[in-house]
Amino acid sequence: MPENIYGFKYNQYGNTEAIIAYNKGIILQTNNYTNKGLAYSDEERYRLKLIGALPPSVRPLEKQVVNSADKVAGKEDDIERFIYIRSLFDRNVTLAHALVKSDIERYMKIIYTPTVGLACQRYSSMFRTANGIHFYPGNIDQAENIMRRFVHRNIRVAVVTDNQGILGIGDQGAGGIAICLGKLMLYTQGAGIAPWHCLPISLDVGTDNKELLDDPYYLGWRHKRIRGDQYVQFIQRFARAFRAVFPNALCQWEDFSKQNAFAIRDSYLHDLISFNDDIQGTGSVTLAAILTGMKIKKEKIIDQRYLIHGAGAGGIGIAEQIETAMIEEGLSEKVARSRIYTLDSRGLVTTDRALEPYKQKFAKNPAEILWMKESSDNTLENVIKNEKITVLIGTSGQQGCFTEQVVKAVHQNTDRPMILPLSNPTANCEALPEDIYKWTDGKALVATGSPFAPVEYGSSTFHIGQCNNVFVFPGVGLGIIASGAKEVLPAFFTAAAKAVSESVTDEAMAKGELVPPVSELQDVSLKVARKVGETAISADVGRLCAFSDFQHNNDPERLRELIMNMRWQPEYLPIIRETQE
């Protein structure tokens, strides 16, 4: 019996043109890459020895999608719909992705935000099939050998989490891998990175979630989280093994705690092809919304004053991206940084406090804050009024903290205030869009982190753009892979933000929309990939794509051809027979 029952045949662009079956018979139905369900043709059933293993009728992919959509609709709630789609993925990858593609706006809410948060919390109780890799202190020394089991899949992107900072709900232990699964489905939906090239990885270093530790059915490593040198050594072992096995693959760090997120990102900037989506992806998509807002306002980003309420990984990532964009527009680092204010649970972040290293960059000198004479002055509303804030961004996870007084204070500083309540899930949103429009007489420019229904105000209907990282990370990943980038530069995320903003039509901007609709994900991802790939070539960090025989020779036109043609679409591929040596 060969080690693998399947392999892949690629075209010159590195896209899969056929599945190679090293076995025949019903074993093909047990693998989610080779299984087509009832869609095997009569010829395939004969050639692959599947005669009698299936009912006689052939059901093509289009009918399978309709049938699966009906089954999803019949489920009683979104978590049951999540379980169905994940189970479908485990049986038939192509059908699962064809279903999601048929209505990406609808199904993304199920496979990712907000439903995936519940999936993380209920991971152990609703476990069906193992996915990806689970590293923990008992097997991390074998990391290289474990990852080599996946070499035949030509891994191009891995999403890696230590499960600690999940979607505003915190430490979810082993359940955090559900985030990786969801993100990778979106890499496929947006960028066309085939699911067999994707690898979810959980770095299970324990959990401080008492409810999980007390749960007799909890599936993770049942210990308190390791910290300090022990944690650092664990990450180092993983990183060394990943680089050895997948030297050309992208490693996306996901949902690490605030300080670990920055420390790990910065430690491996040059050792791995890696980035942190919570920091850089969040910063990029928020910058995209701001760039669109500037077009609507006919103003410049360098003329705004920014307040970010929530100084965690996402908040500081946004601050970093805004700073980078303003520097590109001609400001010095010092001046750009002076226009960005950050708040945490203790108020305005200032240098006289004991701060985590990642917060220090944007901390203000209290001696220069002349209006803050008493500690009681250090409030969100006072910062807005005294520092003339025109762009208010929420990453705090504090429901309703953007009150009527707060929003009106921003409106006092500008005719078109930008109010971006970005916290996930929906229950943590800093303000409801309908309230923001009411408090600003429909003048506000709004985008949210979670999906919201359109808002009716006066004679206008406002479609609420979702400031979702999904507009950024798939295209960034594809651009990196296609260009053969040796490292991930901050400029990639500025390029991605511009591409996302350019995807918003004039008609949409006239209605105050700041980001494109999720239904346009594939087109947006393609534009982002092109911008990122071109930026990599211009910065001389690109090389020939390691996953393709197509020679772009760092020529932008050839690169665009590669990007266009290396994307997989959820359509059944031919299955060819071959004997494995």
Q: Residues 6, 22, 123, 183: which is the catalytic one?
A: 183
Question: What is the distance between the alpha carbons of residues 114 and 410, in angstroms, rounded to a whole number?
Answer: 29
In 3D, which of 90, 101, 82 has the Cα closest to residue 35?
90
Question: What is the distance between the alpha carbons of residues 159 and 182, in angstroms, rounded to a whole number?
Answer: 10
- Placement of tokens 């590669």 in the chain: 562
The pLDDT value given to residue 425 = 76
Q: Which domains does the chain have, with CATH numbers?
A: 60-256 (3.40.50.10380), 280-468 (3.40.50.720), 471-565 (no CATH)
DSSP 28: G
The pLDDT value given to residue 21 = 94
Q: Is 157 helix (H, G, I), strand (E, B) or coil?
A: strand
The pLDDT value given to residue 167 = 75
- Placement of tokens 């008492």 in the chain: 210
Q: CA separation (Å) from 455 to 237, 288, 391, 452, 519?
A: 50, 22, 21, 8, 19
Question: What is the distance between the alpha carbons of residues 307 and 41, in angstroms, rounded to a whole number?
Answer: 59
DSSP 573: P
| 295 carries an active-site annotation | no
Q: Residue 361, CB half-sphere, CA atoms under 13 Å: how many?
A: 18
| 183 carries an active-site annotation | yes
Residue-wise pLDDT tens for the chain (581 aa)? 346 789 999 999 999 999 999 999 999 999 999 999 999 999 999 999 999 999 999 999 999 999 999 999 999 999 999 999 999 999 999 999 999 999 999 999 999 988 999 999 999 999 999 999 999 999 999 999 999 999 999 999 999 999 999 877 899 999 999 999 999 999 999 999 999 999 999 999 999 999 999 999 999 999 999 999 999 999 999 999 999 999 999 999 999 998 899 999 999 989 999 999 999 999 999 999 999 999 999 999 999 999 999 999 899 999 999 999 999 999 999 999 999 999 999 999 999 999 999 999 999 999 999 999 888 899 999 999 999 999 999 999 899 999 999 999 999 999 999 999 999 878 889 999 999 999 999 999 999 998 899 999 999 999 999 999 999 999 999 999 999 999 999 999 999 999 999 999 999 999 999 999 999 999 999 999 999 999 999 999 988 899 999 989 889 999 999 999 999 999 999 999 886 54
Rounded to two decimals, the pTM is 0.95
Q: Which two tokens stand for residue 385?
A: 């009024």
Q: Cis bond leading into 425, ω under 30°?
A: yes
- H or E element: which one contains 500? helix 490-502
Amino acid at position 464, single letter = I
- For residue 133, the cross-strand partners are 201
Q: Residues 40, 112, 231, 572: which is the catalytic one?
A: 112
Contact call for residues 476 and 275 (beta carbons, < 8 A): yes
